[in-house]
């Protein structure tokens, strides 16, 4: 399906940029007229994906993170968060609730949260080459817009 609009943002893996990415995704998603709950779900999923990049992809350095978002005529959104960091040796294990490589202070719920707030989440990763998380979400068409 051909996209109706798209954005591409690249930023450093600094904690302060997590809020920027979250806000940028929310502003982009707003064009689809989501409910507040839908918007909050998208913001939370993006926050988790970007935080994973900051904490796990670049634990000892600053790297780059790419955020891409596309909207489609069926009132859906696709958000891609990519890094070029450490990568994930075992994606299936990383998707398990409570699994983390980030130490005791991390909950290990990032992918679980993304999966609970988005319609689909795909993860591609290769050790030392980075990770790409692709999330999709349909936005309900409200009665006033039908």
52 annotated active-site: yes
Task: Residue 4: name the closest of 54, 50, 72 by CA.
Answer: 72
**Is residue 19 pLDDT above 60, yes or no?**
yes
Instruction: Look up the domain containing 50 and give its range.
Output: 5-145
Which is it for the CA torsion 93, 96, 98, 100, positive or negative? positive
- What does the pLDDT look like over 79-120, one tens digit per residue? 999 999 999 887 777 766 655 555 555 455 668 888 999 999
What CATH number does residue 112 fall under?
A: 3.30.565.10
Catalytic residue among 48, 78, 86, 137: 48
* pLDDT given for residue 89 in this prediction: 81
- Average predicted confidence (pLDDT) for the chain: 89
Catalytic residue among 68, 95, 106, 136: 106
105 annotated active-site: no
pTM of the entire predicted model: 0.88
Number of structural domains in the chain = 1
Catalytic residue among 18, 22, 38, 52: 52
48 annotated active-site: yes
């Amino acid at each position: 399906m051909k996209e109706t609009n798209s954005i591409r943002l690249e930023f450093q893996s600094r904690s302060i940029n997590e809020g920027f990415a979250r806000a940028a995704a929310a502003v982009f998603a707003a064009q689809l007229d989501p409910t507040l709950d839908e918007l909050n779900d998208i913001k939370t999923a993006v926050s988790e994906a970007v935080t994973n990049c900051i904490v796990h992809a670049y634990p000892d350095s600053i790297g780059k993170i790419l955020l891409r978002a596309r909207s489609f005529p069926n009132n859906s959104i696709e958000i891609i968060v990519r890094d070029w960091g450490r990568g994930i040796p075992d994606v299936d294990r990383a998707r398990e609730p409570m699994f983390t490589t980030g130490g005791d202070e991390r909950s290990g719920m990032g992918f679980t949260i993304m999966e609970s707030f988005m319609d689909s989440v795909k993860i591609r990763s290769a050790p030392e080459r980075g990770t790409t998380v692709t999330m999709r979400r349909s936005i309900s068409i409200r009665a006033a817009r039908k």
